[in-house]
Structure 1
Amino acid sequence: MGVFSANFNQAWAKTLVTEVDNRQIEMGDIISVRVIADFQSYAASPDFEALKDQFDVLGSQRSSNMQIINGQYSSTTEWLAQMTPKQTGELRIPSFEVEGARSNPLAIRVTQAKAYGTQNQITFIEAELNKTSAYVQEEVIYNLRFFHLGRLVDGSIRPPQFGDSLVKQLKNQQTYQKKINGQIYEVFEWSYAFYPQQSGELVIAPQDFTGRLQLGSQLRAIHDNSEKLTLQVLQKPSSFPAQANWLPAKNISLSETWQTANSQQNELHVGDSLTRTIKLNALGQLGSQLPALAFENQTGLQIYPDQPQTHEQAALDGYRSEKLFKMAIIPTQAGTLTLSAITLNWWNTQTQTLETAQLPAKTLQVLPALNNPSLPAPSPASNMPNALPDTLVPHETHVANAPPFSNTMQLALSGLVVLLLGAWIWQWQQTRKLKKQLSQLALAPINVDAQISPTPTNHSQCDANQTPADFYRWVNQYLQNQSGLQNNPELTKLLKPLKAHLFHQQALPDGLLIKICDLINQPQTAEKAQQKPQLQALYPQK
């Protein structure tokens, strides 16, 4: 009963959340604070008095909602307060408590109000850039605001154009109130992040807003224009390395995590699989602009990279993006192996300096394979009982006053022991043989020295109907006698997804084995065509 009660209380734990419509404001702005509970509360309410130290609370109200959908009951209670800041700086909305549930605190950034030449203006529109010059592909933030008194009946404005640039909306349309020259204006705000792709002067045309406004008893047609804006787009600095990918950002970082196939195994052996995940984080760049990182096979290491994944999220100061590079790494030889360092140059747009993000070289200590094919072969089956542990070797047991066994019983027990030993020996041999074949398959490089499974094959020619594992073994056997194909770049390229399928569980591309067979059969025909005729005798017989 106690366990049921604990689970029931946990499933119905109350939650309380605080939300605001704008976390970066100016003096005079009016923002809305919502405190939302996932339960009904009739007597208790948040203590908005705690806000009055840093904000003027203009008013508050409460609402509730209950609904039943497909037999599932849910209810919410919401408290709304409107307030305006008393001071600039980083102000804090505290955590509220209602019926034992606590909400999250929030920080609000408040700056000085700009001077508006809007004396007695009913409507006006404002456009601004967060900088007057930027490098090619650097992030620039554009804000567009429409202010009005009275009640807006309808209106329209076209999205701004930024020439040859990548454009991403930074946040959806926001509405709030702002106090200017003693009057409360309703404000519509749109924000965009754009990334110029060409150097030179970029002109952003004025934005037009048209609509209708009701002021008192009068209905007015309105038409407002913003000012034209100009951005100077700079070329890549000459001090940036010429061979590096140009990457202007506010911040760049590299990090990595490692995971082994067997998390309980502290040692790394030949044939084991390691998963390496590298994370590239950027502030002030879109995920599509982040460069690719190259991962090539290194001595003793086979690397199978996955397709990179990108994520991005809008923030107050621009886009934060992330690019994930995930790969499987399989050691193919024992010893001390080193993964090269990864270095990424980038341009800090805040300090105007060249910086470098780096992951240091990684050293791996690789032990021989656990099922090494070079281990000595087991003794013949006839000698196996002498090598068995004592626990499996029958011993004579003497029991006082025990009646003697009959001949039939003795023969039956002897036969049973022989059957058990024979079955154990057969299973041991089969298990060792299978492990040996799997180890050789995982470790066999495509070269003359490849360790080829001794398993005989009936395929005298390339057969695409084999299983991928048998096909891979056949190719390795075939290449031992075909030195001209061992370093063929096209064949190496085709074998790479086959190995990724066998060792990294990736999907096998359609028709891959047929393509490999076609390529293997081509050199045979070519060699016959290119065979030179025998040299004629120096002294032909007359």
Structure 2
Amino acid sequence: MVNSYRTTEFFLFSSTKRLSNCFMQICLLGVLCLAANSAIADSISVKADRDKVELSDIITVIVETDFQIANASLDTSILQDQFDVLSRQQSNQIQIINGDFSSTTRWQLRLVAKQTGKLMIPPFELKGVKSKPYPIEVTKPSYKAGVKPYFLEAKTDLSEVFVQQQVIYTLRFYQQGTLLNGNIRPPNFANAQSETLKEQSVYGKTINGQAYTVYEWRYALFPQQSGVLTIPGPMFTGMLSLGGRQKGIQASAEAIKIKVLPIPQNTPPWLPARQVRIDQNWLNSVDQVHLGDSIGREITIRVEGLKSTQLPKINIDGGKDLKVYIDSEQDGQQLNSNGVTAIKTLKLALVPTATGTITVPKISIRWWNTESQHFQVTELAAQNIEVLAALNSIAPTTPIDGQTTTVVSEHNSDSGYWFYISLIMVVLWLSTLFWVYRLQQRLNALKTLSTSIQAHTTLPEVKALPVESLPQFYHQTLQKLRLEQHIESLHDIENPLLQEQLLALEKHLYQNAELADDCIASIQKEMNAFNKTDHSAKTDSALTALYRPK
């Protein structure tokens, strides 16, 4: 019995010990598994598509964790000393395979090295876990001698100009391969006005046997002050695919300095230009112009090498026998690859104030020829115009001088009885013709006087005068002044009130000036005042002379 009890006790002790050892092994295995899982999940890996690159090559770097990070951001500022970060993308991924759960967070970075040498991507840290440094070797670009895959060039057509003179600034970017994207910083012209002549043009060009794609921009600039104008070199940035590699590119053009000379003294107005043209167009015929007519004239001035804002005011003189009114004045400009052309268009109304041959004065513009470097004058030649009397005017009658014809006939003294009868018949016939001639003269005189009296009637009542009849009223008034007072110009009128009111009416008709309400009534009153006295005396005198007794 004792032996049996001991045997049973030993068996129980051995079983308990084995169970304890097994439990300890299981716990240790669990701890090791947890430690292993923890070590795997807390790792951050860094790798690049290439470990050795050329300067300006784009490097793709992948940063990945074995655990998902919510609302976490990768700090890329640690790269700024040696790299430029072009772009970054983040993605999260969750996988369940055969019941195993895994999650990762991934960043894709596109970098460009700032310098050559053995560079290092510093360790990234997330939730206390750090990655290992990652080395990258950067070498100089292996270009062929004298061949650049891309470069930026800036040029000007002139290096020395006067103030306000046009300068053409051309900017070109040359590249081989395929340009994926790009951005250029516009040039800064400082103390100069500018116009963009060409936004962007693209063409091909071969340089030293190498094919390039060229992007071109062109500007016109106009320095506004003397001295040295410095144009900083613009910068181009972008991405280029060349030889199967993507490169982040950055190119700068050289700065340009332009010497700007001051405007020569005593030269108003100052017009520095390549060419100046003056053209005219008559808007109506000048072959038959009557006193008081309005002649439409269009003047076009084209100045190559100036902006429209630089054009001076042009004074158009009409001389003593011609009034000039500006209907409209327009300034514009045209742009092309050669520069700016300013255009001024003037529409004028010319009103002759005298009959006969009048001269339209010439138009002269003095300008500085930027190509020949001297002053020059462009002229629109003067032109003569024949001005006839106003329409419906009465031409002065010219008396017809009587002519006497003496007929000498030779007859034989023995013509006989029939000669005397024939002579008497001829005398009677001539007497009848003379009487008819005198009667016709008197009838013509009465008809002329009647027409003259009708021409001297008073002007129409103001209350019955519509607005569209103002030009007719104006022309009738000029006609009456010419016939009755022998006045060919408004400035010859001795009545100051009448002169003032007629000038106001003229400005209203040809210059759209405002017209006083009592202007027409005042003109009518002054015209009728001297008509009643002067016309009455002339009519009585004419009737007395016509019916003077024999």
Normalised by the length of structure 2, the TM-score is: 0.49
- Mark the structure with the bigger radius of gyration: 2
Normalised by the length of structure 1, the TM-score is: 0.50
Q: Which has the higher helix share?
A: 2
